[in-house]
Amino acid sequence: MFGPVIRFIFLAKAALEVGRERIEDAVDALTAKAGECKLTGGERLQETGDKLKEATSELYQQVWQRSEVLENQVREKIKRQVADFSLGALGDATEINELRAELATLRAELAELKSMRITA
């Protein structure tokens, strides 16, 4: 049930990260190409369309890959936390059993003291 929502969250986060990186790259490339010769209008339009298609495909792949990386990182983090919690719970159970045994010993000693007091 939560899988698609979580996948969407990772996709959105990855899209933001990759988008930011792509904008920075585009600004750098635009600055570098500012001094280059200009092409005619038709050639420029065709070249721009091709570059846009290529950039869109590349962007999609990067967003998807980043999303999978983020999802795997969160899964590993959750697994480690569950393992730590399980080990902590196991330690707590051991301590509880030790306390129960000590309590039983004290009760037995108390009962023995009461019986000694009654007979005395």
Check: pTM over 0.75? Answer yes or no.
Answer: no
Model confidence over 30-81: pLDDT tens digits?
776 765 655 555 677 777 788 888 888 888 888 888 888 888 888 898 888 8
Q: Domain range spanning residue 101?
A: 3-119
Q: How many domains does the chain have?
A: 1
| pLDDT, tens digit, 9 for 90 and up, residues 75-98 | 898 888 888 777 776 677 788 888
Give pairs for 65-69: CB < 8 Å, separation 24+.
65/14, 66/13, 66/14, 66/17, 66/18, 67/7, 67/10, 67/11, 67/13, 67/14, 67/15, 68/10, 69/14
